[in-house]
Amino acid sequence: MSTPTRRPSGRSGPLADIRVIEFAGIGPGPHAAMLLADLGADVVRVQRPGELPSPERNADAMLRGRRVIEANLKNPADRETILNLVAKADVVIEGFRPGVMERLGFGPDDLHAVNPGLIYGRMTGWGQDGPRADLAGHDMNYISLTGMLHAIGRPNEKPTPPLNLVGDFGGGSMFLVMGVLAALVERATSGKGEVIDAAMCDGASVLGQMMWAFRGTGLWQDRRGVNLLDTGAPFYEVYETSDGKWMAVGAIEPQFYAELLKGLELDPASLPNQLDTAKWGELKQIFADTFKTKTRDEWAAIFDGTDACTSPILDFTEAPHDPHLAARGTLVEIDGVTQAQVAPRFQRSATQTPVGPAREATDPATVWQD
């Protein structure tokens, strides 16, 4: 099979010949554009004039790795400029409420008239249809209806929002990126464009598929903090140490559980059975009392190099200095801001460490001049 001709983008990574236009938004849209740029795509962000960061402050690190074009989509000259770029693009992504882009004249039908092979990705919370499609919302709202937010938290306490990881990014940007990649693969056969309806409420539901599966087989209760993976189990829990810090325990399998008990210097014969759910409260208290006898770093040293699935809980300041993360370069500093390195990694079409967010607008006339 012959190797396809690659465009002279000057970029590296598996998406180095893919051109993306990102219509500026917030949250999962920019995150998806960042991920595509991280993998080598040539991403151009279209935003209103006057939104570039001032010299005296850090730029938004999620805007790394792409150029910026300033444009007013209601201005005829700017509209023509962006439509000329659309004709050369592979992908467009936007994150506005349904109908907004159509009213601006940049909806899927408008852009497919210019570029029939265009992949048009739409990122919303509620999706393009349904009773809530036109309503505002944020991550917490999108996961609240799916059962996911209800499932996260402690027994007899209010649900705990998991930052905005489940809705915005896990259920949002990651599914948008997956949709874009799938559509690009399909286009290679059909030659046709596609429209992707990436809704956070849909994606978050799919993220919870294992819980739905457990529930379907009777292994999950609709109560917080009493199940295997929601801190109900004493061997899948976090424990405070003598210095007020924390350890994470995930010793589910018997052989890993045995290593946990060994590190804690607890005699298995003196303890309730690992899977006796009626005694989980008693066992959890024993573990809690034991972890309070040493500092976090003392416990970390004890469990280092073992299969006990027990690790220290680090904060954002500490994480870059963890020996494993440091050895892999998982966290890097770009323009003075510590942030995540590109993931996943590729053996042959290796990616590069991204450049920082743009501080100057790019002249559209210089973009994609084949």
Asked if 81 and 71 touch (Cβ cutoff 8 Å), the reply is yes
Instruction: Outline where DSSP puts E strands in the chain.
Output: 19-23, 42-47, 67-70, 91-94, 119-124, 194-199, 236-240, 246-250, 310-312, 331-334, 337-340
Cis peptide before 254 (omega within 30 of 0): no
Asked if 159 and 152 touch (Cβ cutoff 8 Å), the reply is yes
Asked about 370 being catalytic, the answer comes back as no
Alpha-carbon distance of 20 to 329, in angstroms, equals 27
The owner of tokens 């303890």 is: 271
Asked if 121 and 32 touch (Cβ cutoff 8 Å), the reply is yes
Q: H or E element: which one contains 311? A: strand 310-312
Q: H or E element: which one contains 20? A: strand 19-23
Asked if 108 and 120 touch (Cβ cutoff 8 Å), the reply is yes
Per-residue tokens: 205: 């539901």
Per-residue tokens: 120: 């048009």
138 exposure class (CB count in 10 Å sphere: 0-12, 13-18, 19+): middle
Using DSSP, state whether 336 is helix, strand or coil: coil
Chain centroid to CA 78: 32
Asked about 168 being catalytic, the answer comes back as yes
The owner of tokens 């570029």 is: 115
- Considering the candidates 112, 138, 150, 322, report the single residue annotated as catalytic: 138
- Considering the candidates 139, 168, 202, 230, report the single residue annotated as catalytic: 168
Amino acid residing at 118: L
Task: Assign residue 211 a region (left: φ > 0; alpha: ψ between -120 and 50; beta: otherwise).
Answer: alpha
Catalytically annotated residues: 138, 168
